[in-house]
Amino acid sequence: MSKLHFTTQHANEATVKRSWYVVDGTNQTVGRVCSKIAAVLRGKNKTSFTPHVDCGDFVIVINADKVVFTGNKLDEKVYLNFSGYPGGQKQEAAKSLLKRRPEAVIERAIKGMLPKNRLGRKMFKKLFVYAGAEHPHAAQKPQILTF
């Protein structure tokens, strides 16, 4: 009688297959949609997920200007920037940032959900956010991802 030996299959750069997905941000809650996008960027939706390998997919977010906040966050949430110089701290309400740069709201939310190391920075580069409904990635034939 022979023993069966099961070994865990670890993903590496050669074995990872990356897909392209499109997410429509129209009437989506910011935090809820961003946490799901972050999981896809990390590759947690795959059976071959390996924590120390970038096995995530490419994600395109369209209509970033149509995302919604719950409660009073649109008026009360504050985004902070610090230049590093004395008196160099700037703050901006979510309402004005969403009007001025709607891509930044999605990007900042997702970046905070990814690992804070070189692997997380590599994953973040696979995210493409656009304020309108058009994107220049039609050649990659992205699939629609719904949550």
The CATH number assigned to the domain holding 109 equals 3.90.1180.10
Q: How far is CA 28 from CA 9, 20, 41, in A?
A: 36, 20, 18
50 belongs to a structural domain: yes
Nearest to 23 by CA among 137, 139, 138, 129: 129
Alpha carbons 79 and 141: distance in angstroms, whole number: 34
pLDDT in tens, 29-51: 999 999 999 999 999 999 999 99
> Is residue 147 very low, low, confident or very high in pLDDT (cuts 50, 70, 90)?
confident
CB 95 within 8 A of CB 77: no
Q: Give the pLDDT mean for 118-132.
A: 97
129 belongs to a structural domain: yes
Farthest-apart Cα atoms in the chain, separation: 74
pLDDT in tens, 41-91: 999 999 999 999 999 999 999 999 999 999 999 999 999 999 999 999 999
Q: Tokens standing for 95?
A: 């309402």
Residue type, 16: V
140 belongs to a structural domain: yes
pLDDT above 90 (res 123): yes
74 belongs to a structural domain: no
Alpha carbons 46 and 56: distance in angstroms, whole number: 8
45 belongs to a structural domain: yes
Query: What is the model's pLDDT at position 3?
Result: 74
Residue type, 119: L
Range(s) of the domain holding residue 47 = 20-69+98-144
46 belongs to a structural domain: yes
Q: Give the pLDDT mean for 18-30.
A: 97
Name every residue whose Cβ is closer than 8 Å to that of residue 109 and which is 6 or more positions away in sequence. Answer: 30, 31, 34
The count of domains in the chain is 1
pLDDT above 80 (res 4): no
Query: What is the model's pLDDT at position 1?
Result: 59
> Is residue 14 very low, low, confident or very high in pLDDT (cuts 50, 70, 90)?
very high
Alpha carbons 129 and 104: distance in angstroms, whole number: 8
Mean pLDDT of the chain: 95
15 belongs to a structural domain: no
92 belongs to a structural domain: no
Query: What is the model's pLDDT at position 2?
Result: 66
